Each structure stands twice: as C-alpha cells, then as structure tokens.
A and B are shown apart, each in its own frame.
Chain A
C-alpha cells in the first residue's frame, strides 16, 4: 500500500512537472504504422497524426513513467534489429514473446492477450478451420505468431507487409484465407461484407514490450507502468474505446488488479520460430527459382515489346511516335516499385487481378521494354543509310530489308547493352518483395528477420544472385565474341572507308 502510494505521488509529481520540465527524458518507441490499425496508424482525418490503442497506451505508460512518448515509425519485420541499432528504446507493436526473440531482446510484462482469427471470403464454405487449409494458400504477416503457427502446421502461406494488402488479396481470390491477430482482424475484416470469420478465435498469446538486452532499469520502469495503467483502469478504458476489451482481457487483468500473482509467461507461450540451415537453403533455392522465372519471363516481354516500340518511335507516323515516346518516358520516368504497386493494387479496381508473380513478371517486362526499345533504337539508327539503299536497289521491300539486312547488324550492336540490362533486371526482381512474391530478396528478409542471421544469410543470398548472373554474363560475352569475330570489326572498317572516301 505504501509502495502504491509512493508511486501515485511520484506519478502525480511527474505529471505536474511534465509540461515544464524540458529536460524530461523521452520514451522513444518503435512500431510499424503502415496498415497498423488498430495498434498505431496514421489518422485518416489528420494525416500528420498517429492514432491507435497502443499509441494511447504508450502515452499513458509514458505519463506513468514521467516521460514524454516519442514515436519512431519503423518497419514491423525489422523492429528487433532497429531496436538493437538504438533507433528507439522500446518496441510496442503487438509483439509476441518467443524463444528466439528472447535470445535477442528483453520482454516486459504482458499487457494484452491476443487470439488468432481465420478469415475467408463470405461465399466460401470450404474452409471452416485451419485444418481445411492444408492445400490452400493462407496469408498472414511475416514473422508473427500466426506465420509461425502456419509454418509449424505445414500450411502454405504468403507473408504480407500489412493486413490491408492481405485482406484485399483475399477478396481478389489471390489467396484463400487470412490468419491474423484479432485486433487487426477486428479493424480490417469484421465490417467487410465480402469477408467472414471462419470459426471462432483460437490460441492465446501475449503482447509484450520489447527492450534492448541490458536495459534492466528501463524494463523495471516499464513493468511498473504497465501494472499501474492496468490497476487504475486506464488500459481498460483505452481497450474498450477501441472495441478490444473481451473475456480474455478480463481473465488476464483481474488477478493483477486484485493484487494476486501475475500469470506466468509459460501459460501463453506462442509458437517458436525454428531455424535450420538446410530448410533455409531449400527455401532460398526455391526463391531463386522464382527469381529466375520472373527475370526470364519479363526479359522475353521486354525483348519482344521493345522492338515494335523502337521501330514505332523511329519510323512510325506521328501519332505512333508520340504514343511510343509517352510509353517510354512513363516507364523510364517512374520508379518500377510504384509501377508494380499500381499493377498489383490499382488494376484490381478495374477488374484485372493478377497473382503476384505474374504482376512482377508483366510489370518488369513492361518497364524493361522501355529500356530495350531505346537500346534497339540507338542500334538501328547506327546502321548507315547506305545499307537501306543497297537493299532497296536490289529490289527488297522495306520489311525484308529490315529483317534480313538492318536487324542482324543492329542486333550485334545492341547485344552488350542488352546483356547489361538483363543482369540488372535480375537484380530488379527484388522489388517484387513489395507485392509479397516469394523471391530471393523477400526470402532473405523473412528468413533473416525470423532468425537474426542477417550476415550468413546475406552471404548465401549474394552467392545465389552471383550464381545466376555470372553464367549469363559469360554466355553473353561468348556470343558477342562469336559475332564480333567476323562482323563487328569489319563493319568498322567499312565505315572507316566511307568516312575516308
């Protein structure tokens, strides 16, 4: 009782000081506000402001600690490494305590009991529980309790950056179900008439606050503040306001508020990430396959589409030239990442919903077609006009002259820059991570975030990229040499003769 009174006095003292004490220590907290409702997210009514139940909770905690809360927007999957880099001091983002995270960071006392909810399309009666998902694709956020549960049950899943993307893809039938923590599900899916919950919420896990190892003093401070906002009902008020107050919270908070022993962590342990190298390498190999597939597919599109673009811009009538120029400038002048996001999230609005891998393949293909067209155009323009005239005077039609005389010569000129583009296309496939395609860069991010093995996995992933791009560069050099042996230098000689004469 005396202790409680002391805290109360201290808190009151601090809150009194709060407005004046400028040197008041900041409580820097990190979370991912992108698609982060109802945890912390941008206020739709006021985009300069962040709102959310955890935002309000941290404000209450900071007040209880006599500190000023300072929000550091971050990225969910890299929260732990950002914490270790001291970008902020605590993680408050619906973080679940797990064995592997415990090796990297400290946990506070729990502050919320979450459950998982499976969501399907309203007209889908095939799936009523997780057991029905064995041969379907389930979406969830990467590196969460839900993703680990799916991994453990060997259910195929796709990791998303944030809940809205997952629920949208569910509606677009790109996936069959979404497994998400109840708070996010409640906010994003429950009111959507096109979606419905499959079965009741299940499993129980805790949300805790993450701290750097060694920050024991801060941990004690945070734990005390959590106890305080639970006991004085502040947390209940916040949770009720956000519609998150339920039986699980009553069951969890009652013992604390009645002064009984807090429940031990063991009761709510969530699934642990298991990391083994052979599994990781197998997944990287599969991701490398996807990367190769996307790169080859989009190069085919780029090579085929680039030629009509080049010819259109070069010899076409005015309207066609204008169209080709607009196409080229649009795709060269906007980031490929934005183009992919547009194709993936924007096109479904007009009824075109492509799966992620196809979006990446088409998007990169369209983008690189713009670059290839410029390579071709430069190569075609480099062929002396005399070649056309010689072909015409032998009775060739423009098409025949182009196909038999101009194109083969231009190809030799275009080959080196094309090789260059192809190698860079290989690397650009990594932007597909933004639309949840499981390619190499995504694989690296997710495996490394789950395991903390950033260095070793980074070396492995780089090796994969090199294994793919080096043979290609070598092949292209061989081809170039074969062609140039007999043709290129002779072309130069002929040109030199023309210039000399």
Chain B
C-alpha cells in the first residue's frame, strides 16, 4: 500500500532522516516509535507532503513521489499524494468556524467536487461510525478532546484516503478513551483502511499495530511484527528504549 525507500530530509545542514525505507501492506497498521528527535514526526510530515523530501521515493497507491523531479511536477504529485494520505494531527486542527459536519464535508465538496447532499449523507454515516451522531451541528470549540479527535478522524476518512496517518493519537486521552480509540481504529482496519500511527504508548500500539518500526537518529533501527519488536527486540538500542519507555 505504501512503500518508502531511501528517504532523506535535511533542514539546513542537519540531516533529520538519513535514508528511511519500509513498506506497509494493505489493511495493516504500522506503529512508529522512537525518542523525541528521532525523526518520526518529520517522517510523518514527509508522508503527507508538508515537507519537501531531499532524496528517495514515496509510493502510495498510484502516486510515486520522487525527490529528483522538476518542482512543478513535484507539486503536482504532492497534491495527488495528499489525496491518498489522510492525517489526524496531534492537536487535530479542526476548523473552528465550521460546524462538525462542515469540517467533514469541506474538502469532499470543494476538492473532490462531491455534491453537498451526498457529502453530508456520507459525513453523517462517518459520524455514526465514530460514535458522534448527535454532534453534527455542534462547533469544534464545544467538543471535548476525545470528541474533537473523532471528528478529525472522520474528516480525514471523508476523503477516502488509501493511508491514514495518526500523530500521537493518545496524548490527549484518558485510559478509558484510549481503549475505545483502539477499538475504533481496528474497526476501520477491518473495513479495509491502512494506517501509520506515531505513538509513545507501547500499551496502545500493542493492541492496534500489526508491525512496529523503531527509529533512532534518523534511521530505521528495527522493523518487525509488533509482538516480536516489543517483546524480544534484536537491537540493543530498541531494548534500551523500550526499557525506559514503560
């Protein structure tokens, strides 16, 4: 579903991503872990086109983004890439001037040119699946953090992305809500979605991720099935990180 190879990203003279390669099979969840500054947030911003990559390729669905193409071609492909990749930001970034349903239909109506009625029907279905059917006409400011997150998930899914990125989805949630988020995400995976989740919570990833990727210093240190990486890591750096994490 998504294949990243040789991805490099520099800020000024500092190289943050030093050649990242991995693959996420369809209908699976990849958990990305690593210390702050390991480059996992930058990786996520490269995957949705918010950062320009310096080297390597990102392949997602029919889109192939390469570093070594003309700027106009690059811009075009970033636009296509963003239609394949949905993002749920750590702080959600809902549009405060639009209602919940307005937030969800904004991009389908104005980017995909979906008729408003169709988009609304679909938005209400999405809201129901994230358990917020009653909140359609409310405004983001009146929602709790957990509710805002579920609106953000519905907003991203309304664009039918091939891949969903979630940045620190548990940071604003209490333990009970973490459990229900896990259940919710698994439902979407069962329905055919593919996800990459950045998280510090090993407990959360343990129940939701199929594979784990551990990053350190801009490199992939370990990448394998969740149980294997979390329970018997092969690299001493992974072991060290996991010991300090929990």
Q: Which residues of A are in contact with B by a Cβ distance under 8 Å?
A: 384, 386-387, 389-397, 400, 404-405, 408-409, 412, 486-487, 489-494, 497-498, 501
Contacts and interface: CB of A to CB of B under 8 A. Distances in A.
A395 B159 contact: yes
Given A404-B110, A490-B139, A490-B141, A395 B95 contact: no
Nearest to A495: B96
14 contacts: A384-B93, A386-B91, A387-B93, A393-B49, A393-B87, A393-B89, A394-B111, A395-B83, A395-B112, A396-B110, A397-B79, A404-B110, A491-B97, A494-B141
A405 B111 contact: no
B145 A497 contact: yes
A501 B50 contact: no
B94 interface: yes
B106 A394 contact: yes
Given A391-B95, A392-B82, 14 more contacts: A387-B95, A389-B93, A393-B85, A393-B87, A394-B86, A394-B111, A394-B155, A394-B159, A395-B79, A400-B110, A409-B96, A486-B139, A487-B139, A493-B141
Interface string B22-47: 00000000000000000000000000
A384 B79 CA distance: 22
Contacts of A393: 48-50, 82, 85-87, 89, 156
A408 B85 contact: no
A205 B107 CA distance: 79
B140 interface: yes
Query: Counting chain A CB atoms within 10 Å of each CB, which of B87, B91, B172 scores highest?
Result: B91
Interface string B104-117: 00110011100000
Given A486-B139, A490-B140, A493-B141, A395 B96 contact: no
Given A389-B50, A394-B82, A396-B107, A497 B96 contact: no
A12 B188 CA distance: 115
Which secondary structure dominates chain A's binding surface? helix
A389 B155 CA distance: 14
A415 B74 CA distance: 38
Nearest to B82: A395
Contacts of A400: 110-111
Contacts of A486: 139
Contacts of B82: 392-395
A391 B83 CA distance: 12
A389 B96 contact: no
A75 B93 CA distance: 62
A412 to B, nearest CB: 7
Given A390-B89, A501-B171, A396 B111 contact: yes
Q: A-B pairs with the 9 shortest C-beta distances?
A: A490-B141, A390-B93, A394-B107, A386-B93, A393-B87, A491-B96, A395-B111, A493-B141, A395-B82
Contacts of B155: 394
A493 B140 CA distance: 9
B142 interface: yes
A386 to B, nearest CB: 4
Contacts of B93: 384, 386-387, 389-390
Contacts of A390: 87, 89, 93-95
A486 B140 CA distance: 10
A501 B172 contact: yes
Nearest to B83: A395
B90 interface: yes
Contacts of B107: 394-396
A409 B50 contact: no
Nearest to A483: B97
A110 B74 CA distance: 88
Contacts of B112: 395
A487 B111 contact: no
Contacts of A387: 93, 95
A494 B111 contact: no
Contacts of A491: 96-97, 141
